[in-house]
Structure 1
Amino acid sequence: MGSVRARAAAGATVVVALALIAAGTAVLLVLRGNLQNQARLQAQVAAHEVAVQIATGTPYDKLELPDGDDHPVVVTAADGRVLAVGEDVRAIDGKRVAASQGKGAVVPSAEDEDGDGDEGALKPGEVDEDVTYRDGTAQVDGTVADYRFAVVQAKDGRGAEATVRAGAELAPEQDAVASVRDAMLIGLPLLLVVVAGVTWLVTRRALRPVEGIRGEMAAITASTDLSRRVPVPSSKDEIGRLARTTNETLAALESAVERQRRFVADASHELRSPIASLRTQLEVGVAHPELLDVPGAVEDTVRLQRLAADLLLLARLDAGERPSGARVDLAAMVREESSQRVADRIPVRVGELAGGEVAGSRSQLARLLGNLLDNAQRHAVASVRVAVVREGEWVVLRVEDDGPGVPESERERIFERFVRLDDARARDDGGAGLGLAIARDVAVRHGGSLRVRTGSVFELRLPVAG
């Protein structure tokens, strides 16, 4: 039962089998009940017709009795003597009967059998409306069969009580029930085989695309080629949506792996330059101590430290590190960070500082602000300005410089990692191209956005802490 097709076929077969068994049992019970009611009604009608003849004074030897093959009838007196018997009726419940006064077998009365007799309650010429029923056998013309008997009490004109028993054969009911039962016993297994086969075929057809998806995923895993995609069926059902979602996941995984590959390559390239410079200075210092450039070595070490810190932060952000839910007053943070940059090449002027708290990590938001200010000072001519305003449910931080600005075609590219628009400038004059990438990642992690509003204005939008 390891196959979904096998489990589906077995489950459907079991459910259908239980349903058919329950339905078949109900049909048999209803059919048997209806046929038994018909037999009771036929026996009652036959017994009542004979009882009416007795009550109207018809002599017993002149009674018009039904044919024994249809409804065997026997009329007995209160003492059990047989007063009249249907044609060809030879025995009732194995006891022979004969219509002769004072002779013949004594047949038990209805009162003795059912205990429902009310002797003396009927008046001469009346027929008892209460009818009792019993099952028994009757021998008609040498054939013994099962019958349902209706028993009716009546009094003739002289006040003599008589009991009329008329039967209706149960063989048609038994034959009909047996025929339906046999048909069900033959048809049920065949129907279950059809259900199992159809379920197997339908399930196999429905799951064929899943097998294609599984096979392609196994091939992708074996080849590590993330550019491959699973086949998408034309149907717009759950399997089609699964295939499309799988391809979207593969695309995202391919993008992430490619991004990680470029990140590692770029990081290695960026680290190679300061490490090589530092090694050269140290080797020169070992050979010629008087030529050791200590300030240069310190500067290269600081660059390495900053680059390592940037790479570590990016690694944490890529790993899905979520910022804390602490409340941060963005205006207060701007005042504090700006006050610590008095020695910068270009001083930072603080503009409007509207109150507004955001939820997140203060250290990451401070790193974001610092990166924006560093970028602005790197490209400014004489002025850097920062402001915080409130716009509805958003707190907006703007950093502006009087530099040449970012060309419109490059306003998204500058947020990519290791991207520097001024590639010709010396590396010592700028960063590794990670500052703006880190700033945007931090903004996104805090539920906000970072974009270039105009050529030289960077705008950070963060939701107000709720």
Structure 2
Amino acid sequence: MSRLLGSVRARATLGATLVVAVALVAAGTAVLLSLRSNLLGEAGTQAERSAREVATELAVGTPYADLSLDVDDRPVQVVDEDGTLVAAGDDLERITGTGVDAVKPQPAASPGGAGDDDGDDDDDAGERLEPGEIGERTTISDGSATIDGDTEDYRFAAVPVETEDRGRLTVYAGAPLSAEHGAVNTALTVMLIGFPVLLAVVGWVTWLVTRRALRPVEGIRREMAAITASEDLARRVPVPGTHDEVARLASTTNETLAALEASVERQRRFVADASHELRSPIASLRTQLEVAAAHPELLDLDGAVEDTVRLQRLAADLLLLARLDAGERPADARVDLAALAREEAAGRAGVSVREEGGDTGAVTVAGSRGQLGRVLANLLDNAQRHARSAVEVSVRRDGGLAVVGVADDGEGVPEADRERIFERFVRLDAARSRDDGGAGLGLAIARDVAVRHGGTLTARGGPAGGALFELRLPAA
């Protein structure tokens, strides 16, 4: 049961059914109340009409014996000011709800003067009427009556009438509520039978619709499970042609798989290239140590130190790349780029620093001073490696960006290679020597650091004919 309710289809079906059930109960209750109110109102209108018909006869002086009291077999009572029943239908056997339970008329106690006196009292207590006038106010009550052996519920209307010779009389007439009860019971029966059927239909349709809607999701799940089991990141999940959220989910999943495949492939190439780059200095160092062990006089100490230093630099580069790939966030310190450029340029032959825009302190960024210094050092190393005689570093502010340019007067970078040089372990033909060209990680590290700081690093032609590398970072 818990497994069934754990599915989206079951929850959607249950939720839709509950919502429809609440709506049906609310609507059904409103319909029943409205139907009952309307039918009760109609019964009250009919009762009032019957009472006013008898009151009209009394107003014109019709004797009690000639009143229309047995029309339509409805209960009618005529009561005087003292509460005495003075006229009633012949078939009336029992009545409740009018305040007068008597069903057999009694002679009036004082038909003349008493009516006048009591009429004054009634006028003080209630509606003032002239002789022959029927009251506008109607009192409605509910009760029951037995007529000719049949007992039913009735809605009674009480209408006052002022007569010439009999004083104030009150006519009670009833209208049966059997139609109201029958209609309400019929509507309730229909609801009790129809609502469960309707809920079953809603649940069944919702189950079918959700199954059809979620079928592509199940296909995506199965394919993802197969990809996980096979570790084949080249596979893709099926994309339905519905152009809805499920189709967008499938497209996003495929984009994620493509990015994951590219990342894994890049990681494999990185490991292979790193192993290749590490193998050369380690093999060279081992050879020198083995020769030195056999022939100490042949030890090339400077070469061994150089290989060790290159190995150390390569290990540091690989460690920094690993931290960058892991998403390490840079520090949030303020860095003066002009001062940092002068610091990195110090001691380098042929390197000059030019500050544009005056004040040095105006060109500052937020980030890691160590990582940004590494970027400038790598750019200067690359520029010096390719420059003929001079390297120039420029620092300026361009709107909301801080811009550092490193230009050399070498042969420049071919336009087709201006993006490729930022890939890891890439060395152009002119820089193939590991002794002079490095491992091909400097520019890759520089761009990764720039991106981590919210900036960019690009290469283009320089003013002196060589290459110009521009580092753009958000100014602090």
TM-score (norm 2): 0.87
Paired with 1:414 and 1:289, the residues of 2 have a C-alpha distance of 42
Q: Verify the 8 A CA contact 1:39 1:168 in the aligned structure 2.
A: yes
- The correspondence of residues 276-425 of structure 1 with structure 2, limited to 5 A, is 276-342=283-349, 347-354=350-357, 355=360, 356-422=363-429, 425=432
Alignment correspondent of 1:147: 154
Paired with 1:315 and 1:120, the residues of 2 have a C-alpha distance of 99
Alignment correspondent of 2:14: 10
Alignment correspondent of 1:21: 25
Q: 1:171 to 1:185 in 2, by over 3 A?
A: same
Greater shift, 91-100 or 137-146, is seen at 91-100
The percentage of aligned residue pairs carrying the same residue is 64
Alignment correspondent of 2:114: none
Residue 469 of structure 2 is aligned to residue 459 of structure 1: yes
**Aligned with 1:58: secondary structure?**
coil
- The correspondence of residues 90-105 of structure 1 with structure 2, limited to 5 A, is 90-93=93-96, 97-98=103-104
Alignment correspondent of 2:42: 38
Deviation at 1:368, TM superposition (A): 1.2
Q: Which amino acid is the alignment partner of residue 58 of structure 1?
A: T
Paired with 1:397 and 1:30, the residues of 2 have a C-alpha distance of 80
- The correspondence of residues 43-442 of structure 1 with structure 2, limited to 5 A, is 43-69=47-73, 71-77=74-80, 82-86=85-89, 88-93=91-96, 97-98=103-104, 124-342=131-349, 347-354=350-357, 355=360, 356-422=363-429, 425-442=432-449
Q: Which amino acid is the alignment partner of residue 383 of structure 1?
A: A
Paired with 2:452 and 2:141, the residues of 1 have a C-alpha distance of 88
Deviation at 1:256, TM superposition (A): 0.9
Q: Which amino acid is the alignment partner of residue 422 of structure 1?
A: D
Note the alpha carbon deviations across 1:406-452, whole angstroms, 9 max, x for none: 11111111111111112784322320111111111112122222222
Deviation at 1:458, TM superposition (A): 2.6
Paired with 1:295 and 1:399, the residues of 2 have a C-alpha distance of 32
What is the number of equivalent residue pairs in this alignment? 450
Q: Verify the 8 A CA contact 1:307 1:432 in the aligned structure 2.
A: yes
**Aligned with 2:428: secondary structure?**
coil
Q: 1:151 to 1:210 in 2, by over 3 A?
A: same
Deviation at 1:133, TM superposition (A): 2.9
Paired with 1:429 and 1:123, the residues of 2 have a C-alpha distance of 128
Alignment correspondent of 1:108: none
Note the alpha carbon deviations across 1:117-172, whole angstroms, 9 max, x for none: 95997664343443333322223233222212222333432234443221101101
**Aligned with 2:239: secondary structure?**
coil
Q: Which amino acid is the alignment partner of residue 14 of structure 1?
A: L
**Aligned with 1:369: secondary structure?**
helix
Q: 1:171 to 1:32 in 2, by over 3 A?
A: same
**Aligned with 1:189: secondary structure?**
helix
Q: Which amino acid is the alignment partner of residue 308 of structure 2?
A: T
Greater shift, 137-146 or 49-58, is seen at 137-146
Q: Verify the 8 A CA contact 1:68 1:140 in the aligned structure 2.
A: no
TM-score (norm 1): 0.89
Structure 2: segments with no counterpart, 5+ residues: 109-117
Alignment correspondent of 1:105: none
Q: 1:88 to 1:358 in 2, by over 3 A?
A: same
Q: 1:274 to 1:148 in 2, by over 3 A?
A: same
Q: Verify the 8 A CA contact 1:68 1:88 in the aligned structure 2.
A: no
**Aligned with 2:235: secondary structure?**
coil
Paired with 2:75 and 2:338, the residues of 1 have a C-alpha distance of 111
**Aligned with 1:230: secondary structure?**
coil
Note the alpha carbon deviations across 1:357-394, whole angstroms, 9 max, x for none: 12211111111111111112222222222222332222
**Aligned with 2:460: secondary structure?**
strand
Paired with 1:452 and 1:336, the residues of 2 have a C-alpha distance of 23
Q: 1:318 to 1:119 in 2, by over 3 A?
A: closer
**Aligned with 1:461: secondary structure?**
strand
Aligned-residue RMSD, C-alpha: 2.6
Q: Verify the 8 A CA contact 2:127 2:135 in the aligned structure 1.
A: no
Paired with 2:175 and 2:331, the residues of 1 have a C-alpha distance of 90
Greater shift, 88-97 or 222-231, is seen at 88-97
Q: Which amino acid is the alignment partner of residue 95 of structure 2?
A: I
Q: Verify the 8 A CA contact 2:43 2:175 in the aligned structure 1.
A: yes
Greater shift, 274-283 or 373-382, is seen at 373-382
Deviation at 1:87, TM superposition (A): 5.4
Structure 1: segments with no counterpart, 5+ residues: 103-110
